[in-house]
Amino acid sequence: MEDFKEPKSPKIQGETGQSVHGQGEIKSSHSQDKLKSSLCQCKPSHNQVGPGIVTSKDDQPVTVQILDETKSSSNFQRKANSKGKTKRRRKWEVFPGGNKFCCKGRYIRGPDSTGYLITLALILIIGVLFFSFDSMYLSKRVSPVVPASGVPFFLLMLVLFNVTAFTDPGILPRATAYDIEKQEEINYKTDDNGSRYTETDIKGRVFQQQYCRTCKIYRPPRSSHCSVCDNCVERFDHHCPFVSNCIGKRNYKHYFILLIIATVLSCYVIGCNVAVISFRAQEYPINEAFMKSIPSVIEGILCLFILLTGLLCLVVYHTRLVCREETTNESLKDTFANNINPFSQGSWYSNCFYILCTPKAPKLLDRRGFEDDADVSQESSKNLPPPPI
């Protein structure tokens, strides 16, 4: 029998005689010596073909499994070391604001989801009633195209509704201990109420960057602190109870398109309801036509209620704001009542294009990152005192 030679890269040969990588590797020198001795002590009826391979009388290869002792021992050592370490928490787990997180910090929503659930229930009720009753009747009486045209609007409204509700509106990260130390070097001013602020110039107009005592930052222009979510939001518009989230720089576009789609879909459903009742009134007496069209009546009442209680007003109001490149917060405070808006693009169509067609701004809040050991976590930084006046 020839001397056993240690292979450079161990391979295991399968039953078909082909080499298969990864089924096992040579262990340490101690295990290799054992393997050599075990192979040398094989019966005479078996012939050794290669490392870890023995053939029988019928020249059928028999595989000997070889394990990697070094790799398994290193894995064991790694697991032993990991037991002594504390688990690092992600930033969304220690987030001090009022927002809630879903899917391990991938999605964010407001602190109270009651408004979101009620609005979602209304959308689903109207959709189920319409596509279960009215669409079936109209497809037979008129054409399948009529009810089918409402499917993309309904799906688009559901997508925009959830995107608006679960998108970071532009939350500004709170100051860490290091940031608060650096704030002592900032030259700030104090107003009559004792609030600190800094000044910045935008297109020839001076804006005050107010200091937020909760987030411990100097807010950029157009930003404000939401009392419901307990966060400072970039280009803060308002907190919408119907989506249970703030409307800010990163989700205002979706919110505005949602209002338009919801208005169009409500008018579409009401028109189909009227058509169904009118067609049945031609076949039956008016009272019987209404009795056979109870789902249509319920849909029409719900859609009229939504339209007349604020949806139409919101669409008109926000269309005016988009054309002027102004937020709800700025409009209520008359920020640009006596001055030119420096954020305007110059014309109403340029403002519409800027708001609706520009890409979504990058998020500033790192929700999925780990806590920085060199810094004070966000959970503890909310209790730090502000820089001295």
Active site members: 240
CA end-to-end span of the chain: 90
How far is it, in rounded angstroms, from Cα 169 to Cα 240? 11
Q: Which regions of 117-244 does DSSP assign to beta strands (E)?
A: 189-190, 196-202, 205-212, 217-218, 224-226, 231-233, 238-240
Q: What does the DSSP 8-state code read for residue 85?
A: S
- Sign of torsion, CA 281 285 286 291? negative
How far is it, in rounded angstroms, from Cα 198 to Cα 211? 8
- Reported as half-sphere exposure (CB side, CA atoms, 13 A), residue 72 has a value of 9
Cβ–Cβ < 8 Å for 92, 100: no
Cβ–Cβ < 8 Å for 216, 323: no
How far is it, in rounded angstroms, from Cα 246 to Cα 240? 6
